[in-house]
Amino acid sequence: QVQLVESGGGSVQAGGSLRLSCAASERTFRTYYMAWFRQAPGKEREFVASSTLNNGRTHYADSVKGRFTISRDNAENTYLQMSSLKPEDTALYYCAAKPVYSINRVYTGVSDYNYWGRGTQVTVSS
């Protein structure tokens, strides 16, 4: 069964950094469109960042642009480097994958994605 497993969450003070990792269970994920989402208590799940491996194209939500960086290695791992963290970044962070996509489109909707991890908690204190 296809699985995505997130790790790297934790508690940090405002201004700090964390690096999240997403490990996929199959090599086929190397060709998938990958993204990070987050969900704060009482709020809807929202898009954070996405990446296509084949052309290196990335896309970010305005709220994290310049502070977060999505990257992928040559295996099945996707990362989210988070810097200058703010209390409003506190959320459960999810990794998501989309196997079939158009190379020129950006996918930011929850319903766009076929596979999800269970999430890793990030808590930023002021």
For residues 40-54, average pLDDT: 92
Mean pLDDT of 114-121: 97
Question: Does residue 104 surpass a pLDDT of 80?
Answer: yes
User: What's the pLDDT at 64?
Assistant: 98
The pLDDT score that the predictor gives to residue 54 is 64
Residue 29 has pLDDT above 90, yes or no: no
Distances in whole angstroms, Cα of residue 31 to Cα of each of 11, 15, 66, 75, 113? 32, 34, 26, 10, 14
What pLDDT, on the 0 to 100 scale, is given for residue 55?
A: 66
The stretch 61-86 carries a mean pLDDT of: 94
Q: Are 105 and 34 spatial neighbours (Cβ–Cβ below 8 Å)?
A: no
